[in-house]
Amino acid sequence: MAVASMLGTLAGMIPLLAVGVTFLRYSAVDPESHPVNVRNVLPEYDFVVVGGGSAGAVIASRLSERKDWTVLLLEAGGDENEVSDVPALAAYMQLSNLDWKYQTMPSRNRAYCLGMNGDRCNWPRGKVLGGSSVLNAMIYVRGNRKDYDHWAALGNEGWSYDEVLPYFKKSEDNRNPYLAKTPYHATGGYLTVQEPPWRTPLALAFLEAGEQLGYDNRDINGARQTGFMLAQGTIRRGSRCSTAKAFLRPVRLRKNLHVAMYSTATKVLLDNSTERGRPRAFGVQFSRDGVRRTVRARREVVLAAGAINSPQLLMLSGVGPRDHLASLGIPVHADLPVGHNLQDHVGLGGLTFLIDKPVTFKRSRYQTMPVFLDYVLNERGPMTSLGVEGLAFVNTKYNRDPEWPDVQFHFAPSSVNSDGGDQIRKITNLRDRIYNTMYKPLIPAETWTILPLLLRPRSTGWVRLKSTNPAHYPQIEPNYFAFREDVNTLVEGIKIAMNVSATPAFQKFGSRPHTIPMPGCGKYSFMSDEYWECALRHFTFTIYHPAGTCKMGPQGDRSAVVDPRLRVHGVDGLRVADASIMPTIVSGNPNAPVIMIGEKAADIIKKDWAQKAR
């Protein structure tokens, strides 16, 4: 939502921006020329990677480092464009042709998304080379050390924090010297990480407020997570650094790597007549230009299509819950809990504060020609903003471990009203009644936002097929707030957010909460626990972090779909490597962890095949 609020601010200049950026970046020989969309797919490759997103781009790049291996990367979408490069226009990519445009199912007990049209929350997912790393706010957060140690404690050998940290560092090219020199960061990797070159004065007030509340200003990706920090992002020279830009463009000339765009995988091909008596993946069926095609994989098929598409593809292929597949007439090759364990970070949208000074990010202030020229000519200025300027990890009274915070804050110098009502209401699917009552009166005002998110929800949902037609989107049921503890924790997180506004750091700007009650919640006393719970159930907000639907776990874990080496249980030649394998969702934005999963997956595959060759 924070990035969305910048959308309308600059959207009016998008056509001019695209022309300017295109001319300046592509009029000469571009050292980052885009990957070639191969037209003639070979009948067979060593590896077929499905999904060119945050993990898939990494896996394809790393596997093709072996010159004796051939790799095909199938991507349902096309390439990035010049507008997607602009950080402040991130939300403009949502609801575009780069987005799958998923929506949740309405809550059967009216527990969430009640303030959205049709009681459905939008769930953007990247349908583009680079995947959701092209749509997201570029926030670089790794999660908590204890997330990964917990994975290892569940029986996932090799996934402790000390074992995954080298893979975070392998990718990273951190451009902030005060971080790059620490043991937790690295330089020289494909993925550029840095603070954006521009921010509002409120960003430093946010850090100061954290200190006044007793929290340290620290590297949240370092030794300890609890605290406040200026946001770091995957940006390079003021522009987005997606995984396609980071991992595919530099290797675009490799003869053994083919990238096929606009190629939607519809089925993993499985052979049941193997000597081992268990199915083996031998290829992928995909649709391109309206024609059904197949490609064979000599060694493996690797699914990296994300927490929605990977389970959908497995179930369409006969790998999933027996009862569900049988109800659709799909022959069952492996009875596994595919699509279960869906987890997401959920919070309260629209938590808005007003100030008196003209320092917020709003349309009337930054939709100007000087802003446009500063970006096009210097790659600086407001258009380089991530939208989210500050991050915090805090502990509510329900948290038993102060080193494993249970709520995350995203601070933005803008709110739902900051674009004048043009785009945010579409992106959030917010009902007109809520927008017109709460936010339309604030269009002339100076506003800022904190988005409090629940880091480790107890409530889990599921992804199920609607039909056997691959073109039919699956049912997404997040099942938010099924556990009372999730509501209670978020309400306490909201109270801490209110305290941020009350600090001397923000009182210098005259900060105070927006007090128009949420429609549907007027019967409760404003700012009471009951009011905040009602607000959560209406303006249910997610920044699109689905995970867990192909859970990783050891042999014998009946809730697991893949083993710790990411092999699908009971199926040979098939792995999954994306956010869906997370046993429990990480404590923070998952893009960096998914890139890590891609790095580690490629390394695991290389080691496994090297061992077979001995």
Look up the CATH number of the domain holding residue 282. Answer: 3.50.50.60
pLDDT tens per residue across span 422-437 = 778 899 999 999 999 9
Q: Give the confidence band of 27 by pLDDT, cuts at 50, 70, 90.
A: very low
For residue 314, what is the enclosing H or E element? helix 306-316
Q: Does pLDDT of 516 surpass 50?
A: yes
Does residue 314 fall inside a structural domain?
Answer: yes
For residue 475, what is the enclosing H or E element? strand 475-477
pLDDT score of 5 = 42
Per-residue pLDDT, averaged over 11-29, amounts to 45
DSSP string, 594-605: HHHHHHHHHHHH
In the block, tokens 């699956």 appear at: 474
Spatial distance between the Cα atoms of 200 and 179, rounded to a whole number of angstroms: 22
Does residue 310 fall inside a structural domain?
Answer: yes
Spatial distance between the Cα atoms of 102 and 134, rounded to a whole number of angstroms: 16
DSSP string, 251-302: GTT-TTEEEE-SEEEEEEEEE---TTSS-EEEEEEEEETTEEEEEEEEEEEE
Work out the percent of the chain whose per-residue pLDDT is above 70: 94
Q: Is 34 a catalytic residue?
A: no
Q: Does pLDDT of 274 surpass 80?
A: no
Question: What value does the mean pLDDT of the chain take?
Answer: 93
Per-residue burial over 543-568, b if 16 or more Cβ lie within 10 Å, else e, is: bbbbbbbbbbbeeebeebbbbbbbbb
Rg (CA), the chain: 23
DSSP type of residue 474: P
Higher per-residue confidence, 543 vs 192 = 192
- Give the annotated binding-site residues for FAD: 128
pLDDT tens per residue across span 435-485 = 999 999 999 999 999 999 999 999 999 999 999 999 999 999 999 999 999
Task: Give the three-state DSSP class for 210.
Answer: helix
Does residue 161 fall inside a structural domain?
Answer: no
pLDDT score of 576 = 98
Q: Does pLDDT of 24 surpass 60?
A: no
Q: Does pLDDT of 130 surpass 60?
A: yes
Does residue 435 fall inside a structural domain?
Answer: no
Structural domain range at position 565: 29-78+245-341+547-612
Q: Does pLDDT of 25 surpass 60?
A: no
Q: Is there a contact between 390 and 207 (Cβ–Cβ < 8 Å)?
A: yes
Higher per-residue confidence, 550 vs 11 = 550
Does residue 608 fall inside a structural domain?
Answer: yes
Q: Is there a contact between 466 and 472 (Cβ–Cβ < 8 Å)?
A: yes
Q: Which residues, including other chains, have CB under 8 Å from residue 181's CB and lie 6 or more apart? A: none
Does residue 214 fall inside a structural domain?
Answer: no
Q: Does pLDDT of 3 surpass 80?
A: no
pTM beyond 0.75: the answer is yes
pLDDT tens per residue across span 212-262 = 999 999 999 999 999 999 999 999 999 999 999 999 999 999 999 999 999
Task: Give the three-state DSSP class for 486.
Answer: helix
Of 389, 392, 423, which is closest to residue 407 (Cα–Cα)? 392
Q: Is there a contact between 232 and 142 (Cβ–Cβ < 8 Å)?
A: no
pLDDT tens per residue across span 314-340 = 999 999 999 999 999 999 999 999 999
Residues paired with residue 264 on neighbouring β-strands, in sequence order: 287
Per-residue pLDDT, averaged over 28-40, amounts to 74
For the chain, the domain total comes to: 1
Out of 185, 340, 345, 545, the active site residue is: 545
Q: Does pLDDT of 18 surpass 70?
A: no
Q: Does pLDDT of 538 surpass 90?
A: yes
Q: Is there a contact between 509 and 137 (Cβ–Cβ < 8 Å)?
A: no
* Range from 163-177, 292-306, 421-435 carrying the lowest mean pLDDT: 421-435
Strand ranges inside 56-124, DSSP E: 71-74, 102-103, 122-123
Q: Does pLDDT of 391 surpass 60?
A: yes
Q: Which residues, including other chains, have CB under 8 Å from residue 116's CB and lie 6 or more apart? A: 122, 428, 429, 430, 431, 540
89-93, 367-371, 516-520 — most confident range: 516-520
Q: Which residues, including other chains, have CB under 8 Å from residue 218's CB and lie 6 or more apart? A: 224, 227, 228, 229
Higher per-residue confidence, 363 vs 287 = 287
**34 burial type by CB count under 10 A (0-12 exposed, 13-18 middle, 19+ buried):** middle
Does residue 237 fall inside a structural domain?
Answer: no
Q: Give the confidence band of 23 by pLDDT, cuts at 50, 70, 90.
A: very low
Of 191, 298, 238, which is closest to residue 609 (Cα–Cα)? 298
Does residue 457 fall inside a structural domain?
Answer: no
pLDDT score of 225 = 98
Amino acid at the residue 500: V
